[in-house]
Amino acid sequence: MLIDRFFTAGRQFLGCRLPIMCGAMTWVSDPQLVTAVGQAGGFGLLAGGNAPVEVLKEQIEATRRMSDHPFGVNIITLAPVYQEQLNLACDLGCQYLVFAGGIPKKKEIQQAKSCGAKVICFASTDSLALQLVGRGADALILEGSEAGGHIGPVSLSVLIQQILFKVEQVPVFIAGGIATGRMMAHLLMMGAAGIQMGTRFVMAEECIAHSKFKESFRRAKARDAMATPQFDSRLPVTPVRALKNDGTVEFGKLQLEVLYKLDSQQIDKQQAQYEVERFWVGALKKAVIDGDVSRGSLMAGQSVGLVDRVMPLQAIMEEFTRDAENELQRLKTVLAD
């Protein structure tokens, strides 16, 4: 198949049959989903988030018991337990470590590499991409602002031109707004080593997300997935893309309350950011686990407008590879004319 030619770099780096990564989604990317992704030929990521190290350790060990397929661990550089999670991942000899949420220091990247891990970092600008490669990153993920959850400020179409077309030293994976094999084919032809998706995998039968959470995704349009605003530069919160509901309104109120506490010196800036993150962790659990789709957080990318049914993971992977192959064959015919 033509697609095999474009899968080579991603396969070699990730050690799996399909260089399709399942993004690390808090409360969603659990051992069950990560294992199912691996069994279907892809590459799953456990979400470290704000999880206590004991919980993350249990999840890593559970995934290893359930599957012998390669998987990664995603840790957030801004999380209160970040260093503890990094130490844990190194102590357990995790094969792949993804740094997200901020810029990891060179010594942190080298710490992971010294334990045998392959390091993947998110890059939002061309200068940062080169900086991360210089610090030792083994691969990059470009995530456009179309993605769900915590997002960067730049659209995927611009990131591709800024970074994918210029960085050749390491494999580059693409994320944000991807929901079809046809789109994957074009990204691979542009030089991507593979893709990462989150929203599409929420709609997998193997995903533990509540049926009401999945139904909200099924009914949503692309424009319903909106990014939260920042009210004041003193509280530099990372925008979060989610389906608008009562929870979105509550987050706006929380920002105003936190800003009042900052003004009255009841808390400092770091504590203010922790309060914001605690809100999202709690709100996401309400929606994903409890099914409270009114007040919980419905984190979703704009690709939610392209997702309309729940499918087995194996079927999702087969559809992607089939549609990508068909698109490559179509283009081959067009170029031959």
pTM > 0.75 = yes
303 band by pLDDT with thresholds 50, 70 and 90: very high
pLDDT at 99: 97
176 band by pLDDT with thresholds 50, 70 and 90: very high
User: CB–CB of 34/63 below 8 Å?
Assistant: yes
User: CB–CB of 238/148 below 8 Å?
Assistant: no
pLDDT at 30: 96
Mean of the per-residue pLDDT values of the chain: 94
pLDDT at 298: 95
230 band by pLDDT with thresholds 50, 70 and 90: confident
Out of 2-11, 55-64, 74-83, pick the least confident. Answer: 74-83
Out of 74-83, 104-113, 184-193, pick the least confident. Answer: 74-83
pLDDT surpassing 90 at residue 40: yes
Higher-confidence residue of 262 and 215: namely 215
Cα 133 off chain centre by: 20
pLDDT surpassing 90 at residue 162: yes
As a whole number, mean pLDDT of residues 139-153 equals 93
pLDDT digits (tens, 9 = 90+) for 67-94: 999 999 999 998 889 999 999 999 999 9
pLDDT surpassing 80 at residue 260: yes
pLDDT at 219: 97
For the ranges 99-103, 220-224, 229-233, the maximum mean pLDDT occurs at 220-224
pLDDT surpassing 90 at residue 21: yes
pLDDT at 231: 74
Question: Domains along the chain?
Answer: 2-209+307-332 (3.20.20.70), 211-302 (no CATH)
pLDDT at 265: 85
pLDDT at 282: 87
CA-to-CA dists, residue 136 to 43, 71, 133, 161, 253, angstroms:
22, 20, 5, 23, 41
CA–CA gap between residue 298 and residue 244 (Å, rounded)? 8
pLDDT at 62: 98
CA–CA gap between residue 94 and residue 106 (Å, rounded)? 18
As a whole number, mean pLDDT of residues 141-169 equals 94
Q: What percent of the chain has pLDDT over 70?
A: 100
